[in-house]
Structure 1
Amino acid sequence: MRAAIIIFIFITLCLISGQVLCFMLIGCAGGSLMFKCMISNQRETNEQHKGKVGISTEIQHRWDYNGRFTLYDDENSRFFTVFIRNLSREDHGKYTCGNNQKWSHDFDLKVNNESGCGTSVILDKYVGQTITFHCEYDKFKSHTKVFYRLKEGPVHVLNSSQSSQSSEEKIILSDSRKDHFNVTIRNISADDGGVYLCGVERDGSDDQPSETSITHITFIKEIQLNVYGGIASVQVQAYSSKSVFITCKFPQEFRRNKKFIQKDSSQKIIVDEQNQWVQHVDHFRASSKASAVIGESVKLTCDFPEKHGETFKHICRENEQKICESISSSEQKRFEFSVSSAGVFTAIISNVSERDAGVYWCGAETRDTHLTSVSLTNQHHLTVTMPPVVGREGDSSEIKCPYNAKHSSEVKHLCKGKCFTEDAQNIIRSDEANKPKISAKDDPELNLFTVTLSELRAEDAGIYWCAVRDEFNLHTDLMIVMKDAVTREASVGGSVSISCKFIRNHMRIFCRGDQPNICVRDGVRVSSNTRTNGRFSVTDETSAGVFTVNITDLTEEDSGKYWCAEESSGSFVFTEVHLHVIGGSSMIVAISVGLILLAMCLVLVLLKIKYNRKHGIISSSDRRETGDHDMVSFKTDLFLNMRKCQ
């Protein structure tokens, strides 16, 4: 049992009327206290006073107030009731209860300051709801429990012999028999708002009061109940063969209560302790599957009624309890909506990460003060993969495995094949030593597990899975590019044959692209399944382990990088191909450039001959042929100098 932390007010009450009756009253600082004072047969003014502070009743059957002090006089009783609220240390001193000073009860009031008593709470509820809250009583398990409404209602009592009251009551008290009792108020109305007090009935000791004890009520907790108007009815619109998602607001303190939705009085759908729907009927259209690569973007397509073109577009993601939750404000900046056509909008998720995997719903949303409804039209199962890794034969490659921060202290796995399945091949774990050609490093600060594979071979190609236990799995493709590349040249208008080796008799692909992974995804021209595609065709020489791609009617635009690929169950082995197509406009350009250069050289030769003759410079041939005429000399110089231009 936890230690009781209580602040008490000690009031010694003595009756001076032939006998002296003394007893102690105990209350909590910050709490309240209620007790009775005896009155004489002469009914005059009843009064309680402390020094100059006093309060009295002039009329029966009415509460009289003076700040924190309250009196109530019932003419049918020999007592009048005294109520003191919000007790404090300043309440120390002597007090007197009396009937026009004909007789008196003198008592001392003492208050000690300690914590944990006299608590106060504020509860907000709606009309028609039921509320349950706790009233702590610490060590007073055997005492009578009391619930009281300030200024208005009677005292509700739960006797020590009772465990609970009838469930038919509007206000129900039930005792936990530990350190608190529960108060339930059913079907709250606007009139139920106000201040309530709860506590225990006791005498001057901590023991259970006897039948002859003079008792009082120590109120330990004060509850301010605010009641708001009921939720107005709201019309929710849905569409045939579609679905609807409805969000209902409720006060925070009801977060642990069972939730339900009800149609009429006989059709009630509730959730169980695990917050799962107990029963529901699916009318969802077939869901779609989408895959995204970490760091890239993915597009989800959603339908909506055309007449709701201006309504708010909505996307949510299922949590572990299968409840579709709105995207958090911190993540919304990565979600972009755009209307692509009438009745269709797209939700684009950018910079995808591993945490984005899951089930999404989208549709058009309508709102009301207390209720939001979404006509759900599409369900998307989004899987997330890591970017493919491309390694070259004989080199090294790194496979980087990101993981959630909550898994930082757990063992990470890299497997070829999905981890924890029968066919999975364990590559390395974060708690293992490095292996030949395999090393690993776990960086909890970056939430990254990195594995390095060295001396790559074609057999290393495949799908690798990163995993933490069996609840977190991501996969990537390791693609191997062989060392030996293929280079071919051909002329415009002609054809070319490109032969590539293959290791096993699996699916063969020929495609174009700067990167092999992009080539396979976006640029497949022909394959062993699709053997012809326009100017492209493929033939196999299985016995030689070679497949040949033929390209006809070549153009200069056909020049570029191609890839021969062999694929088996996600394993890709590539051979790089470089194709150069020459001719056509390239030949014309070459001839044109040559003629221009030749013409320029001829002009320079003529200028040189003219210069030599003008200045009397004779060529070596002229010196040998001094008898020839000038024309022969000119032709000779021209011939000799033209040879220099070649």
Structure 2
Amino acid sequence: MAMELRALFLLPLCFPGLQGQAPGALRRREGDTLYVQCPYAPWTTDSQTKCWCLLKDGRCQELVNTYSKQSRDRRIIINDDSTTETVSVTMVALKAEDSGTYFCAIYKSYYDYPRLRTISLIVFRELLQWELDTLTVLCPEGSGAWCRGQAECTVMSRQRSSKQSEMKSLQDRVTMQYHTQGAFVTMKNLQIQDSGVYWCAPGDSRHTRKMEVVLSVFKRTQQLTAKESGKVSVQCHYKIAEHSTASKAWCKQGEGKTCSVLATTRSESPAANSTAQEGVRIQDDTQQGIVTVTMEQLQVQDSGVYWCALQDGSGLLRMEEVTLSISKALPPGAFPDSGSQSQDVLLGDSCSGNTFLILSVVLLLLLLLALLTCIALGVRYYRLLLRTGIREAEDTSDRAEGTAQPGSTGRRESSQDDSKGPAYINLDVQSSPSPEDPLYCNVELSQAPRNPQHVEYAIIAFNPPPRASRE
């Protein structure tokens, strides 16, 4: 057996083609898909069985081969393309526990798996938490340390027995407890500065990542405004089961990360960084899990950032962050300052867009209505002119020379020389005679020439005017 193991160890050194490629790290998010292609080695044949292995204890833990083509959980599929001489492996629905070293190999015997390609797979789990939440992670079997850092491992906790897992203070917030399936890591009272990359590492190596976690912690915030000389009340919520017995504090954040305590629920004297302030009261309702803070007689200089925090001898842990803005009170009859005017201007600007759109639509409708009205009036005026022209033409044709017009005054019109032609008479008929009745015209003696050569008689009959039927 020793000779066989030595032969297997020396085989890649004697034949470079048998040596696998250098490990290349691949990062995938939990739930993603991994696709890997492994070209054949020059000495590989199509009939040989190819495998996808997990490196465990320096040996191949076979997950799937080209004979079965699919793993038991159906998350891994392997294909052998003899045309391109390439083996392709697909892993779907990746889990954080899938992190490890994998390689494509040729199956020769139980102990002989010449490698085609080796990769280092890191599957990270994204976790989103609020401040003061509790994070629990189950590290795979064989994990002995909980590390933090992107490249180098900063040990946050090591595996302990159940009796050693009790935390001494709020700042001692990370424990790692042994379990039959691995090791449970617990991080309590999370803070925003806890955001980062964590991983489970074996007890004998801090460079091997068995499982990786990307943690993002968010803080709860409030924004309040008040008037000078007024008061403000703030409520902060917490989990009763975890923090009902802890002391609560109200502090104001200064330069850097320091926060000066203004009020606390502790019965003993405040800590060294405490600055008691008059007009500030704090009440803790442990039945509902609510801390209520009241500040009275506010001043402009009270504006700033405050914390509702848990407090013990080791320091403060933020529950919620409150941003307080105090505006200066105005005397009676005074006008708002430029700051308030600018707010009004901003408010007016926010509404001007919709107002401009509405006015534009109304003006467009009015313009269209005016245009339609002008077109209608123009058409009506044109029809009126056309009708008036027809009537004038008819009147002109009816009033031809030598024709009597009913309704006209009776007078005699003659040419410049009465002796050279007959007289023309315009008749004024007061009543409309029957079309069958003749009409006789008499000429007075004063209107007749002295020596008439001849006398003409005219009989005029009336027919209904043509325009009467048109109207």
TM-score scaled to structure 1, two decimals? Answer: 0.26
Which of the pair has the greater relative contact order for Cα pairs under 8 Å at 6+ separation?
2
More helix per residue: 1 or 2? 2
Higher strand share goes to which structure? 1
Mark the structure with the bigger radius of gyration.
2
TM-score (structure 2 length as normaliser): 0.34
